[in-house]
Amino acid sequence: MARPNPRYESGVERYGDTWVYESIVGAIPGIDLSDLQAIAIQLGIFQTGVLVLAWYYDLWTAVLPGTVAVAVAAVGSGVMRQFGRRTRRLDLPEPYRRLLFGSSIEVVLGILAFVALVTHLFVFDPRTADPTLFEWLFGPDPPIPVVYLTLLILWDLCYRIGTSWWAAVVALWRSWRYSFDAETAHRLRRLDALNVVFGLTQLAMVPFVLDRPVLLLAVGGHIVAVTVVSLAAMATLRVTAAPLEA
């Protein structure tokens, strides 16, 4: 039987044992949001922004890709909160939990992905595509508020993607380094599967980059990589033999 984490028996999430996103949400004074409430607020703010700017600047062709991006990011938020909470409930090796949450590597990976994406959009794409992705979405002279909101949503996506990739890599290291009782192993495999599900939801973005080979390779490569690494972590997870009863 899986042992509960004694540090989490009260249900209080300790800083250093959370994703950066969870720490920010949890640090808002006087507010204790459920997963559904947090996701609803995120969806409401971003989707309202997409619709209002589309109406004001007559950019209705950008609503569908914008809505898909907002939805995928919201799914990522839900997965992160569920993944983090379920992980903390298990009594897992401290190095694994510290590496997963305390290192904040997911932020670094998100920044690297975002910088690469911005470089592609504003340097590589104008040199190789006609029209560019931004021109296709927003016309030859994109309004500044639209670009601002777009980059904000793309950062949110990149952060979720960085978190997903880091969770997969650390899971593979965990499976190589440690063994667990059968119940804990079962729950860890379910967490790895949850990460795969989030990766697969990103397939919704593929139709919008089919004619953008670099972006298509980046999105498709990430989905395949997370899926393969997570499945490898699930397959190599070692189960400790139950002690024989006297």
Band (1; pLDDT cuts 50, 70, 90): very low
- CA 5/CA 27 separation, integer angstroms: 22
The C-alpha torsion from 106 through 188 and 72 to 199, rounded to 10°, is: 80
pLDDT tens readout for residues 126-143: 998 889 999 999 999 999
What mean pLDDT, rounded, does the chain reach? 87
Residue 152's Cα: distance from chain center in Å? 15
| Residue 13 pLDDT exceeds 90 | no
Tens of pLDDT, residue by residue over 55-107, are 999 999 999 999 999 999 999 888 888 898 899 899 899 999 989 988 888 89
Which of the four pLDDT bands, split at 50, 70 and 90, describes residue 36?
confident
Confidence of residue 246 (pLDDT cuts 50, 70, 90): very low
**pTM exceeds 0.75 for this model:** yes
Confidence of residue 237 (pLDDT cuts 50, 70, 90): very high
CA distance 87 to 90: 6
pLDDT for residue 239: 86
pLDDT tens string 135-184: 999 999 999 999 999 999 999 999 999 999 999 999 999 999 999 999 99
Residue 93 confidence (pLDDT):
92
User: Sorting pLDDT into bands at 50, 70 and 90, what band is 204?
Assistant: very high
**Spacing of C-alpha 240 from chain mean position:** 31
Q: Band the pLDDT of 18: cuts 50, 70, 90.
A: confident
Is pLDDT above 60 for 2? Answer: no
- How much is the pLDDT for 31? 66
Residue the block writes with tokens 């470089």 = 119
Taking residues 33-47, what's their average pLDDT? 85
One-letter amino acid for residue 181 of the chain: D
Cα 70 to the center of its chain, rounded Å = 12
